[in-house]
Structure 1
Amino acid sequence: MPSFGDRNNSACEVSTGTTIIAVEFDGGIVIGSDSRVSAGEAVVNRVFNKLAPIMNKILVLCPAPLPDTQPARICVEMGAPPRVIAAANLVKGISYKYKEEMVAHLIVAGWDQKNGGQVYGTLGGMITRQPFAVGGSGSTFIYGYVDSAFKPGMSREQCEKFAVNALGLAMGRDGSSGGVIYLVTVTTDGTKAQIISGDDIPRFYDL
């Protein structure tokens, strides 16, 4: 998967607003985020990538401050590729351990041979599989849109458009979300990463 730039813990630690989204389709998942990192009213990073690969074809979306993102970077030696649910349970354990310091809604999404594309929301000690999930400060502006626009059985292309439209809408409404859109699609064939910027980002009046 192509690199979206340097990743460091300090940027994640000061993040107070963002928009993240993940959606399942038959054969894989699409995940995306904005790229703005803010601390109070200041924008401290305009192009930070919040989509962190933690295992082969499995990523975690980081929407808010984390005490330490390194425990989520796990190398598992198994006779078969790791399961998405196993990664989600590990991330859930981290969020539970730091539940006093961290109120982030972490999303784990990926593809494995047994269950295909999967999206899991984790918060504290809970873990829930969902057909799609949104998080971050920008999510409050798009619940109406995603609830009405999501349809079971959407194709890969429809899910990519759904994610990009939702992120564009949030970025237009939420002052803490902005920058570019990072989009990753994971299927049995591999991982495809895209960066969407400028006039290619849909605005609320285009939807």
Structure 2
Amino acid sequence: MTLYAPLCPVSPDVSKDLAPVSMGTTILAVSYKGGVILGADSRTSTGSYIANRVADKITPLSDKVYILRSGSAADTQAISSYVQLYIAQHQSEEGEEITVKVAARLATNLAYQNKDNLQAGLIIAGWDKVNGGSVWGVPLGGTMISAPYAMGGSGSAYIYGFCDKYWREGMSEDEAKTFVVRALSHAMARDASSGGCIRTVTIDANGPRRDFVPGSQVPITYGELAGNRTQ
């Protein structure tokens, strides 16, 4: 069996009857001094219809490596499942935890070799004993990019300026988490395809920790995002 065999293609007779569907989300991963923080909104949309208001777009690939998913939910779930399997096999054979870079490479190979059939934008982030915390972006097409922070989804277009201004190297865990929540809130306030609650996962040498911001507590005004709450 070939390790990176193409995922099952859609039958031509079926695919020609499927109309394109607009989907959106906002995902963001940030490195800080000691680890990484992954964050995502929770809205799954199908055109103008909200299919799920509380979707979890942060999926574990191993104990200390997680993946953020944007694009087609079915496509990204399929990639995640394959990568989980490959990682489990790798760790069983090697007897040690996989590095974030290797996990990202597995996802990249699947995304690239099936780029004509998939709509998948991915971010892989986590912590390993070789490189510490690291973030890898895998946008549509299967390119693999290492960066201090990465974002994706339709809402990301609204926060490039925000992230360029407020991200800084060597942030503490609390500073990085505040940055992630504010950036996601900013995108959710402006992108109709992003919304719901905010889920975050913090990963360091001690492992992952999940957190949650209910939709009712997500700030929606610029003043709140900048730290100056407006009345």
Same fold, judged at TM 0.5 (above): yes
Is the contact made by 2:25 and 2:193 (CA closer than 8 Å) also made in structure 1? Answer: yes
Is the contact made by 2:63 and 2:207 (CA closer than 8 Å) also made in structure 1? Answer: no
Letter in 1 for 2:26: T
Letter in 2 for 1:64: G
Q: Determine which of 29, 41, 47 is the counterpart of 1:34.
A: 41
Letter in 2 for 1:33: A
Letter in 2 for 1:57: K
State the match for 1:11 in structure 2. none
Letter in 1 for 2:84: R
SS in 1 for 2:71: coil
Letter in 2 for 1:20: I
Which structure 2 residue ranges, 5 or more long, are not aligned? 1-20, 226-231
1:166 aligns with 2:183: yes
CA–CA separation in structure 2 for the residues paired with 1:204 and 1:87: 37
Structure 2 length normalisation: TM-score? 0.80
CA–CA separation in structure 1 for the residues paired with 2:202 and 2:24: 23
Q: Determine which of 185, 189, 196 is the counterpart of 2:206.
A: 189
Identify which range, 163-172 or 102-111, moves more after superposition: 102-111
Is the contact made by 1:110 and 1:117 (CA closer than 8 Å) also made in structure 2? Answer: yes
Identify which range, 92-101 or 37-46, moves more after superposition: 92-101
Q: Determine which of 61, 65, 71 is the counterpart of 2:82.
A: 71
SS in 2 for 1:96: helix
State the match for 1:5 in structure 2. none
Superposed CA RMSD: 1.5
Which structure 1 residue ranges, 5 or more long, are not aligned? 1-13
State the match for 2:64 in structure 1. 57
SS in 2 for 1:105: strand
The total of aligned residue pairs comes to 194
Structure 1 length normalisation: TM-score? 0.89
User: Moved runs in structure 1, 4+ residues, more than 6 A?
Assistant: none
Larger C-alpha radius of gyration, 1 or 2? 2
CA–CA separation in structure 1 for the residues paired with 2:105 and 2:66: 13
Is the contact made by 1:168 and 1:201 (CA closer than 8 Å) also made in structure 2? Answer: yes
Letter in 1 for 2:137: G
Deviation at 1:104, TM superposition (A): 2.8
SS in 2 for 1:53: strand
Is the contact made by 1:141 and 1:174 (CA closer than 8 Å) also made in structure 2? Answer: yes
